[in-house]
């Protein structure tokens, strides 16, 4: 299928380095594949260290002038970029569905979410206030500036091809830092389309570059990004394993890092929960993006008194989920990103069966679509010995654990090295406070499945990461404090 776009210019097969659309030095390319069909949509450059270095040097050249612009002028450009994304939302959504697979309506919602970061951070950067501190000596003044950290780099995953790049680039650009971004090899086209619009609205050359590469190129691109002394900050979203490696690499030149890594989200449903709320949340926290998000509910812990009613409702909900290619208007979930992703989900389900789990619905590959399409699956009898209780399943599988006491649920929920998002459902305010405070997670969703917003601090604790994205906290990661000690004021 060829992609039908109102503006075919948004689909690029070159990278965007220092204000120019370029091929790899070697001329080598790799295919971007539609996960629904396995067909190549486009070829993009296989870049490495040399191209990445050039992008970083371009960013360094652009840095001073970009940082010297008035915050309101940067904000205007970012607002124009957000507007351009919204004006082209249908095309951006089509590109995203083609490379990532999510239903086109969901892709369009992601485009709006992705654009919101440019709008919000542009406005917020007008309020990067400094500080004066009462000094311990009469002739002294203590003044603190908050200044852009310098050249930044971003590395993003495939599950949110537009929002992950913009969540990083928006705060960086807003406060005056250029960014060189490496999108995931599975989904570079959405990031490149944002760069087309950035160029169109007049973001200067070098301020926002995109370097593309295949899986084998990622260590070369990442190696340059993490070793180049011009780079002052890395923002990474992806696996804990790669995050740890990049953090280690960044230590050699003491770069600031923010990491948004894996999760293993518990979803706690207490006896006094509103079932409608909990089921509406499962629909989001389990089936959005076919369960391929780092905040997807991974362990669904349900109290004994509501367990059977909850399971019945999840099965009912899951029967309404339509598995189909993302361009099919009926689709509520599309394909998984690739065949290895499906193999992992199938392995988790087989493991659950072998350990006595009861598969009430689904449990296998979609008969008609095959390959990367997994059925909505509901399994009961889960416990912490299961593979899926310890690793992210990243698929449309709801595995239900039964618990008796609140303290058991909290203990099980915290029994993981991860700490990104947790969900809790209860109508008892005291319980919500108790559980909310006891859960070792960076984000707690209370009676909802939606938590992501540009206004809110997104991020995790423990091995789920460092730092926060979104909100005024997200801007801090791109700023340095400078203390000025003024003496001689007599
Ligand atoms: P996922 O399991 O979501 O694919 P990864 O951590 O493997 O998570 O990938 C997230 C991003 O990190 C992708 O852009 C990928 O290309 C990149 N990446 C993977 N390995 C490295 C590496 N060694 N150095 C730099 N980037 C890497």
Greatest CA separation for the chain: 83
CA 113 to each of CA 167, 215, 431, 442: distance values in angstroms, whole numbers, following the listed order: 9, 27, 32, 20
In this structure, are residues 360 and 380 in contact, taking their beta carbons and an 8 Å threshold?
yes
Site of tokens 């912490």: 384
Indicate the pTM of the whole model: 0.98
Name the active-site residue from 260, 392, 406, 463.
260
Pair type for strands 397-403 and 377-380: parallel
Distance CA 224, CA 235 (A): 14
> Closest Cα partner for 483 from 73, 241, 242, 131?
131
The secondary structure of the chain in percent helix, strand, coil, rounded to multiples of 5, reads 40, 20, 35
Could you tell me the two tokens for 394? 């990243």
**Ligand 1 site: residues with CB under 6 angstroms?**
155-157, 182, 184-185, 218-219, 222, 238-239, 242, 245-246
Tens of pLDDT, residues 171-202: 999 999 999 999 999 999 999 999 999 999 99
The answer to whether the Cα torsion of 268, 273, 275, 279 is positive or negative is negative
What is the DSSP secondary-structure string of 200-244?
HHTPPTTSEEE----TTTHHHHHHHHHH-TTEEEEEEES-HHHHH
Beta bridge partners of 363: none
In this structure, are residues 295 and 395 in contact, taking their beta carbons and an 8 Å threshold?
no
Give the single-character DSSP code of 137: S
Q: How many whole angstroms from 225 Cα to the centroid of ligand 1?
A: 13
Distance CA 170, CA 80 (A): 12
Tens of pLDDT, residues 249-308: 999 999 999 999 999 999 999 999 999 999 999 999 999 999 999 999 999 999 999 999
Q: What is the pLDDT of residue 1?
A: 56
Active-site annotation holds for 260 = yes
Q: What is the pLDDT of residue 207?
A: 98
> Which burial class, exposed, middle or buried, applies to 127 when counting CB atoms under 10 A from its CB (0-12, 13-18, 19+)?
exposed
Distance CA 358, CA 369 (A): 25
Q: What is the pLDDT of residue 383?
A: 96
User: Which residue's CA is the nearest one to ligand 1's atom 14?
Assistant: 184
Q: What is the pLDDT of residue 2?
A: 74
Tens of pLDDT, residues 346-378: 999 999 999 999 999 999 999 999 889 999 999
User: Which residue's CA is the nearest one to ligand 1's atom 22?
Assistant: 219
| 38-44-46-52 Cα dihedral, nearest 10 degrees | -130
In this structure, are residues 296 and 392 in contact, taking their beta carbons and an 8 Å threshold?
yes
Beta carbons within 10 angstroms of residue 329's beta carbon: 10
Name the active-site residue from 294, 392, 469, 476.
294
Report residues of the chain scoring pLDDT below 70.
1
> Closest Cα partner for 159 from 339, 10, 296?
296
Radius of gyration of the chain from its Cα atoms, rounded to whole angstroms: 23
Q: Which of 180, 218, 259 to mutate to test the pocket of ligand 1 (most atoms within 8 A of CB)?
A: 218
Classified as helix, coil or strand, 305 is helix
Q: What is the pLDDT of residue 486?
A: 96
Which atom of ligand 1 sits closest to the CA of residue 221? 25
């Amino acid at each position: 299928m060829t992609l039908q776009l109102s503006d075919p210019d948004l689909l690029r097969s070159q990278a965007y380095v220092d204000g120019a659309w370029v091929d790899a030095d070697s001329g080598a390319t790799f295919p971007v594949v539609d996960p629904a069909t396995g067909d190549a949509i486009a070829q993009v450059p296989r870049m490495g260290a040399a191209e990445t270095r050039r992008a970083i040097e371009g960013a360094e050249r652009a840095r001073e002038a970009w940082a010297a612009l008035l915050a309101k002028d940067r904000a205007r450009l970012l607002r124009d970029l957000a507007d351009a994304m919204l004006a082209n939302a249908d095309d951006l959504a089509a590109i995203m569905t083609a490379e990532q697979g999510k239903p086109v309506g969901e892709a369009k919602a992601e485009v709006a979410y992705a654009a919101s970061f440019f709008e919000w951070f542009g406005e917020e950067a007008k309020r990067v206030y400094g500080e004066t501190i009462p000094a311990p000596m009469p002739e002294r003044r203590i003044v603190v500036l908050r200044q852009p950290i310098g050249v930044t780099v971003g590395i993003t995953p495939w599950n949110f091809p537009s929002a992950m790049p913009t969540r990083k680039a928006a705060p960086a650009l807003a406060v005056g830092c250029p960014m060189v971004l490496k999108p995931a090899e599975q989904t570079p086209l959405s990031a490149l389309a944002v760069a087309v619009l950035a160029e169109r609205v007049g973001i200067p050359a070098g301020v926002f570059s995109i370097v593309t590469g295949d899986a084998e190129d990622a260590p070369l691109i990442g190696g340059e990004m993490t070793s180049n002394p011009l780079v002052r900050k890395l923002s990474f979203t992806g696996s804990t394993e790669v995050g740890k490696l990049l953090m280690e690499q960044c230590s050699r030149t003491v770069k600031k890092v923010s990491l948004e890594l894996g999760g293993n989200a518990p979803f706690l449903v207490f006896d006094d929960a509103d079932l409608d709320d909990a089921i509406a949340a499962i629909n989001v926290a389990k089936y959005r993006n076919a369960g391929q998000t780092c905040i997807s509910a991974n362990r669904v812990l349900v109290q004994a008194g509501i367990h059977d009613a909850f399971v019945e409702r999840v099965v009912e909900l899951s029967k309404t989920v339509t598995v189909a290619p993302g361009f099919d208007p009926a689709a509520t979930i599309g394909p998984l990103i690739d065949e290895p992703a499906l193999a992992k989900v199938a392995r988790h389900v087989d493991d659950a069966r072998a350990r006595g789990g009861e598969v009430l619905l689904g449990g296998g590959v979609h008969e008609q679509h095959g390959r990367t399409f997994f059925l909505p699956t509901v399994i009961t009898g889960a416990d912490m010995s299961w593979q899926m209780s310890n690793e992210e399943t990243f698929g449309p599988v709801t595995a239900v654990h039964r618990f008796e006491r609140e303290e058991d649920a909290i203990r099980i929920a915290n029994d993981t090295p991860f700490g990104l998002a947790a969900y809790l459902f209860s109508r008892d305010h005291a319980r919500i406070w108790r559980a909310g405070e006891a859960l070792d997670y960076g984000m707690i969703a209370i009676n909802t499945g939606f938590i992501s917003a540009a206004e809110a601090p997104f991020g995790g604790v423990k091995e789920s990461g460092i730092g926060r994205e979104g909100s005024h906290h997200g801007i801090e990661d791109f700023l340095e404090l400078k203390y000025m000690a003024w003496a001689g004021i007599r």
